[in-house]
Amino acid sequence: MSGSAVAASANAGPGETGVRVRPGLVYVRPPKTASTSVENLVIAAQGLSAETLVQVAEIYPDRNGAVDPRKCLVGKGYHVTWNDAARFLADPAAWRAIMTLRDPIARTLSHYRFLQQTAHAARSPGAHQRLLEEALARPLRELIVDESSEFFNWTMPVQTFFLGSTLRGSDPSGPARLLPDTVRSSAAHHEALRCALGRLERLAWIGIVESLDRDVQVLAFSQGWPAHGLLHDNRTATGGDALAASSELDPATRRVLADRLAADYVLLECAREIAAERYREMVETIGSVVNRSEGRA
């Protein structure tokens, strides 16, 4: 049996022969977590064009029209928090959330380098332009201790806040582009982590950047798609992840970031366990379906 045929058989109910209509996908999308690559995977797997996907305007009720979950990826191209997409997730029969997570220090370094690489592009509004200028002019070791810098808040546990806080994007042209100062307190970190851990199991799919080629097979299987390879088209030019990030930063900078990003590391470890378990479940399901199809007990 092909991968898509196995998925169809596994997802069919009693007496059914085809794949059930799958809910639409809402992407909880912190910056620099391989999300563009996953978006391109979804576009390719569903045979969609970028123009058919729900853009940020549809997150806001006053701009929303009729949306077909089977043809959409909510938040495509924008950094959407759980709360941005909450009204979609209130209907779990029609919509499900997905998320990718990354080593927190590697994510922070990649974000900083991405800002450096895009700083010479067209000017951005207000504070985001200051982010770009800071990254171009100042080393990371300075920005992480300068509380007046625009980048300072982006050295907080961003992934935990995107999933677990009440953070919402206030600018329809780009949700959660800038984080409020409320992300700085340890009490806020603890509360956001508590909530994020509760929401991890509610995510229909979790991808971990270090094991993304494995995890996208789980996404494809759960959606009834043919097996797809990940399109690695949006990696920061200097590349690397946890090990590379650790080697590029001086020890003092690593210590500051590791302490500040503690909540993200707890979240990542729990997410790794869930992603690995879901992969094991997929393998067992495929084996069971193949055995049934071949008449083995």
**Digit-coded pLDDT (tens) for 19-56:** 345 677 888 889 899 988 888 787 777 665 554 444 43
Helices (H), 153-185: 158-164
Q: Look at residue 17 and tell me whether its pLDDT is greater than 60.
A: no
Identify whether the C-beta of residue 258 lies closer than 8 Å to the C-beta of residue 109: no
Residues 24, 26, 116, 246, CA torsion sign: negative
Provide mean pLDDT across the span 100-118.
Answer: 93
Torsion (CA) 228, 164, 235, 52 in degrees, nearest 10? 50
Provide mean pLDDT across the span 139-164.
Answer: 94
Identify whether the C-beta of residue 215 lies closer than 8 Å to the C-beta of residue 281: no
Domains for the chain: give ranges and CATH numbers. 3-293 (3.40.50)
Q: Which of 152, 122, 121, 119 is nearest to 136 (CA)?
A: 119
Lowest mean pLDDT among 111-115, 147-151, 227-231, 236-240: 236-240
Distances (CA, A) of 27 to 30, 33, 59, 112: 9, 11, 11, 22
DSSP state letter for 110: H
Number of residues that make up the chain: 297
- Residue 189 is encoded by which pair of tokens? 């970190």
